Structure 1
Amino acid sequence: MQFAHFDIDQFLRNHWQKRPLLIRNPWNDWQNPLEPDELAGLACEEGIESRLIVRDGDALKMESGPLPEARFGELGKEAWTLLVQAVDHTVPDVAALIEPFRFVPDWRIDDVMVSYATNGGGVGPHYDQYDVFLVQGLGRRRWRVGPVCNAQTPLLPHEDLRLLPDFEATDEWVLEPGDILYVPPGFAHDGVAVGDDCMTYSVGFRAPSRAELVEGWADHQVDRMAEDDRYADPDLAAQPHPGEITAASLDRLHAMVLESLSNRADFARWFGTFNSQPKYAEADWRPEDLATPETVQDSLAQGIPLLCNPASRFAFIRQATGGITLFADGQSFDCTGETADLAMQICANATLEADPALAASSSAVELLVTLINQGSLAFDDGEED
């Protein structure tokens, strides 16, 4: 699934993280990739993050999944919305929606959330801390976009939802199937279904906060520090006031902290593993039958395609000495030569037809065995899951 007409360079220059943009149906032939009943079925499954938001008069009430199947039959005439997170992890046709947006680097991609709403359904005026492309899949939805919000913006008191009490729209559009609304971080927005059978696909992106980076990197470094690595002042001289922390002492203390956090190569490896952690770390995608070098060599020699797990996260960083470091689901792998080429192909393709000659490369085979056994890759056995 690709765009038929969309100026990526102009979008990045004029709109990305700057201002919202309505993109009228840019597809060759838009096809809604998921039926409402299938979405409802996912919301009933264990291990799937879902929410049901029902309007009760002027208020919104939220229920967290998994939902009992009978719940949907109990819903009355009040407007309601079903939201299911990370549908791309389990539905290939929804995962395919990410491909045309890969002009944004993969390490920024979060997931595809899918919502279904009856007439008047929505989650209320709110703002998010991430970029999102709201793709109208089925039915119609009226979107209103307002001003930029921040941590000081007042919110309505609500146990589950972060709703804006004073929302004044600056723009308003009704989206038809195939239309896309891009909303940058912080912009207030409110989407309401116009008619029943309204489905919206939210292709969301992530950006680590400064606090997350500092905390994660510092914690990582602390775990590696020796107990005897302590402040020292062998050049100590008598000072006029015993209660003063001198500038020289502060300089030395400050340098201790900065020096421990300043190694860029170490930071790069830490960030690659940190950022490639799966969205749901508790999910176990490991195969029942573990791969061996022999089974991998045999599959490579037969030309069997490799499939990337849509729930996995891949990225790589080029090394100054040549080669790359591959990151896959929180693990790192140093790769050179043909194995580095293979790793980059894995990062670029959901389905990969690897060179059968790689069966003779022990390093490439070793990498594939590890990635398959941790659930990041699989050889295509031709069977639907």
Structure 2
Amino acid sequence: MDITQALPLLGGLTPDQFMQRHWQKRPLLVRGALPGLRPLLSRAELFGLAERDEVESRLVARAGRQWQFRRGPFRRRSLPPLAQPNWTLLVQGVDLHDERAHHLLSRFRFVPQARLDDLMISYASDGGGVGPHFDSYDVFLLQVQGRRRWRIGRQQDLALLPDMPLKILANFEPEQEWLLEPGDMLYLPPRYAHDGIAVGECQTYSVGFRSPAGAELARELLQRLSEDAAERAGGQLYRDPKQPATGTPGAIPGELQQFAREALQAALAEPHAVERALGEHLSEPKPSVWFEAAPPADIGAGVRLDRRTRMMYDGRHVFINGESYRAAGRDATLMRRLADQRHLDAAQLAGASDAARGLLASWQQAGWLQPLAEPR
């Protein structure tokens, strides 16, 4: 993607300008971001996704001041009638299950893959919404069917309504209000309070982003690093031949503390261990994702990543679906191009080494990528 090219999606801004002026800073309303946009999935297809066990879905309904919340899967007969107002069906990760949704999500790849999360579809009857709330992550709200009225504000009072199944702001104070038509889009930075109410039958697509908390990230990295700790720290046992008799047996010896400190340092001594663990964590597919093994196929005409595959890289590694590989030279350039473009044609593959071709072939058999000759 050319990040210096102005995009209607961003209201005539280039991706570079958008990231500098708006990303994590201030909202942006774009009229006609995707002119002529229509729902990618029919209502029946969306409801069909919500029936599947591996698809995350939620149902939110309001009756007066009371809210109801349920998690899927949902059989069609368990959903409210279409004519009933004030209910919303949320279907998460649609890009993992539908190639059209995956293609739409790819329009937002001016943000690092490590931050891009998924595409959620919100189907609502007239008056449907999830109440005034705020998210801890960036979000693009793309109107696809019908209209939705959005009110937003830089909320200072984050108190929530008590005894509710949803996190709804108790004292929402909107500052701006817009009615979005199909093709319009609203970008909101993290913690910007917002409330969207459907005007008639409505579909809104939400492009969300990952924002891991420091504690969560530290826990994941330490767990991954611990898997190799025994090999690096060695099996040497603690010895204390000079330990004197003690009258304070409850005190931990300083020598034992030093032994533990050295063992931990040895476990972390591998250069770039943290970077490797981070890349493996960020490229790990969601728990609901699995791949089916495929018979060997000719990949000489090119390859494309499966829409569920997460592939990234740093200066020394290539990461794909939670695994890491050392990469250097022309092969590293090739693999980085695959991560950026999500496909390689025959000309780009021509310079690949036998090792790189073998690796791509193993990924094809694992179901992580397909021959480019198949429909994209």
TM beyond 0.5: yes
State the distance in 2 between where 1:187 and 1:48 align. 28
Give the fraction of aligned pairs with identical amino acids, expressed as a percent.
38
State the distance in 1 between where 2:239 and 2:217 align. 28
CA gap 1:238/1:82 in 2 versus in 1, 3 angstroms: same
CA gap 1:128/1:248 in 2 versus in 1, 3 angstroms: farther
Equivalent residue for 2:311, pick from 311, 314, 317: 314
The answer for the alignment partner of 1:285 in structure 2 is 291
Equivalent residue for 2:41, pick from 34, 38, 46: 34
Are 2:114 and 1:107 equivalent residues in the alignment? yes
Are 2:52 and 1:45 equivalent residues in the alignment? yes
State the distance in 2 between where 1:54 and 1:357 align. 52
Find the residue that maps to 2:169 and give its secondary structure.
coil
Report the alpha carbon displacement of residue 274 of structure 1 after superposing the two structures with TM: 0.5
The answer for the alignment partner of 2:186 in structure 1 is 181
Paired amino acid for 1:270:
A
Are 2:376 and 1:370 equivalent residues in the alignment? no
Checking the alignment, whether the CA contact within 8 Å between 1:145 and 1:170 is kept in structure 2 is: yes
The answer for the alignment partner of 2:170 in structure 1 is 165
CA gap 1:255/1:337 in 2 versus in 1, 3 angstroms: closer
The answer for the alignment partner of 1:332 in structure 2 is 324
State the distance in 2 between where 1:359 and 1:258 align. 41
CA gap 1:356/1:316 in 2 versus in 1, 3 angstroms: closer
Report the alpha carbon displacement of residue 208 of structure 1 after superposing the two structures with TM: 1.6
State the distance in 2 between where 1:380 and 1:169 align. 48
Checking the alignment, whether the CA contact within 8 Å between 1:141 and 1:176 is kept in structure 2 is: yes
The answer for the alignment partner of 2:207 in structure 1 is 203
Are 2:226 and 1:222 equivalent residues in the alignment? yes
Report the alpha carbon displacement of residue 99 of structure 1 after superposing the two structures with TM: 2.5
Checking the alignment, whether the CA contact within 8 Å between 2:96 and 2:307 is kept in structure 1 is: yes
Checking the alignment, whether the CA contact within 8 Å between 1:132 and 1:184 is kept in structure 2 is: yes
Checking the alignment, whether the CA contact within 8 Å between 1:358 and 1:365 is kept in structure 2 is: no
Are 2:10 and 1:3 equivalent residues in the alignment? no
Find the residue that maps to 1:271 and give its secondary structure.
helix
CA RMSD of aligned residues (A): 3.3
Checking the alignment, whether the CA contact within 8 Å between 2:50 and 2:74 is kept in structure 1 is: yes
Checking the alignment, whether the CA contact within 8 Å between 1:6 and 1:26 is kept in structure 2 is: no
Are 2:101 and 1:94 equivalent residues in the alignment? yes
State the distance in 2 between where 1:357 and 1:311 align. 22
Checking the alignment, whether the CA contact within 8 Å between 1:338 and 1:364 is kept in structure 2 is: no
Checking the alignment, whether the CA contact within 8 Å between 2:7 and 2:14 is kept in structure 1 is: no
Report the alpha carbon displacement of residue 86 of structure 1 after superposing the two structures with TM: 0.7
Report the alpha carbon displacement of residue 258 of structure 1 after superposing the two structures with TM: 6.6
CA gap 1:310/1:360 in 2 versus in 1, 3 angstroms: closer
State the distance in 2 between where 1:333 and 1:257 align. 24
Checking the alignment, whether the CA contact within 8 Å between 2:87 and 2:128 is kept in structure 1 is: yes
Report the alpha carbon displacement of residue 149 of structure 1 after superposing the two structures with TM: 6.2
Normalising by structure 2, report the TM-score: 0.84
Deviates more, 1:1-10 or 1:108-117: 1-10
Paired residues for 1:66-105 under 5 Å:
66-72=73-79, 74=81, 77-105=84-112
Superimposed CA distance per residue, residues 50-96 of structure 1 (whole angstroms, 9 cap, x where no aligned partner): 11212223222122222112234646523111111111112222212
* Structure 2: stretches of 5+ with no match in the other structure: none
The answer for the alignment partner of 1:141 in structure 2 is 148
Deviates more, 1:364-373 or 1:7-16: 7-16
State the distance in 2 between where 1:68 and 1:179 align. 31
CA gap 1:160/1:17 in 2 versus in 1, 3 angstroms: same
Are 2:184 and 1:192 equivalent residues in the alignment? no
Superimposed CA distance per residue, residues 240-277 of structure 1 (whole angstroms, 9 cap, x where no aligned partner): x9988899998997787577557660111111111100
The answer for the alignment partner of 1:322 in structure 2 is none
State the distance in 2 between where 1:31 and 1:155 align. 35
Checking the alignment, whether the CA contact within 8 Å between 2:36 and 2:182 is kept in structure 1 is: no
Equivalent residue for 2:347, pick from 349, 355, 360: 355
Checking the alignment, whether the CA contact within 8 Å between 1:127 and 1:149 is kept in structure 2 is: no
Paired amino acid for 1:336:
A
Superimposed CA distance per residue, residues 154-195 of structure 1 (whole angstroms, 9 cap, x where no aligned partner): 323456422222211122211111111111112221111112
CA gap 1:108/1:373 in 2 versus in 1, 3 angstroms: same
State the distance in 2 between where 1:212 and 1:234 align. 41
The answer for the alignment partner of 1:127 in structure 2 is 134
Report the alpha carbon displacement of residue 373 of structure 1 after superposing the two structures with TM: 2.5
Checking the alignment, whether the CA contact within 8 Å between 1:339 and 1:364 is kept in structure 2 is: yes
State the distance in 1 between where 2:16 and 2:288 align. 38
State the distance in 1 between where 2:272 and 2:352 align. 31
